[in-house]
Structure 1
Amino acid sequence: MTPEQFIDAALWFPEAGESEPFGPGALVYKVAGRKMFALLTGGGGGAPATVNLKCDPELALELRQRFPAVTPGWHMDKRHWNSVLLDGTVPDDELVEMLTHSYTRVAEGLRRADRDRVLAVLGDDAPPLPGTDGS
């Protein structure tokens, strides 16, 4: 998955927003303008980009064992966050699943009114895989 495809997938979620609070080169994705569910960095000079995603601690360990490109979250709580190198070794459907999991975990931590609103809109949907939305 390219960084551009990741951006499209991250912004697909209800009330997802993008900002650069840490300056250029670090894109933060928040749900309902409140809590971060993804952080996209790097990708310049031919090096692959990296995305940090929130994850259930047990699942985080499993993903790290399955994919060499998944490591403990860089500059994050390493128990609850994974860093995923966008080098093409993690299948797009797995990455979309990780992104959906991160968004849902963060949305579940919102105050009740925000949580109920964004999760009701999300339902059982997941973002389309890159390249399947007609683009």
Structure 2
Amino acid sequence: MKFEWINEYCLSKKGVEKDFKIEWQATRYLIGGKIFAMQGGDKDKKKIITLKCEPSFGQFLREQNQYIVAGYYMNKEHWNSVYLDGDVSDDILKQMIDMSYELVLNSLSKKMQREILGKDKID
């Protein structure tokens, strides 16, 4: 697989937990109990990773790359799925993972953010 680094990259972020949802046949990466990345397959069992993005950035990515589509089984405005057998650069995928992590982290309470990041104060 071309993106064997995904698991290590996601787990390297502060406060990330990983589980496997049997019903979905998907590996989930969570922060504060909320999914920021989910790796599994589409209806044809093609490998995908689904990530949260700013809506305008997600739409831009979908227009630029045929292997990035609206989130599979997710909110189509905020989530995007990347086909892992397609031609998406490591840099773009890392940028998407980083954005997804930050968006979900920032949606958590300030108290939870402090606990996760180990800071006394969140800007």
Query: Mind listing any 5+ residue stretches in structure 2 that lack a counterpart?
Result: none
- 1:94 is matched with 92
Take 1:54 and 1:119, find their aligned partners in 2: how far apart are those partners?
Answer: 20
User: What's the TM-score, normalizing by structure 2?
Assistant: 0.84
User: Identity over the aligned pairs, expressed in percent?
Assistant: 31
Equivalent residues in 2 for 1:47-126, closer than 5 Å = 48-119=46-117
Shift of residue 42 of structure 1? Answer: 3.0
Checking the alignment, whether the CA contact within 8 Å between 2:15 and 2:117 is kept in structure 1 is no
Following superposition, which runs of at least 4 residues in structure 1 exceed 2 angstroms of deviation?
1-4, 21-25, 116-121
Structure 1 regions of 5+ residues with no counterpart? 122-135
Counterpart of 2:4 in 1: which secondary structure?
Answer: helix
The residue identity in structure 2 corresponding to 1:89 is: D
Letter in 1 for 2:39: L
The root-mean-square deviation of aligned C-alpha atoms, in Å, is 2.2
Q: TM-score, normalised by structure 1?
A: 0.77
One-letter code of the match for 1:18?
Answer: K
Q: Which residue of 1 aligns with 2:19?
A: 19
Letter in 1 for 2:35: M
Q: Which amino acid aligns with 1:12?
A: S
Structure 1 residue 19, shift from structure 2 partner:
0.5
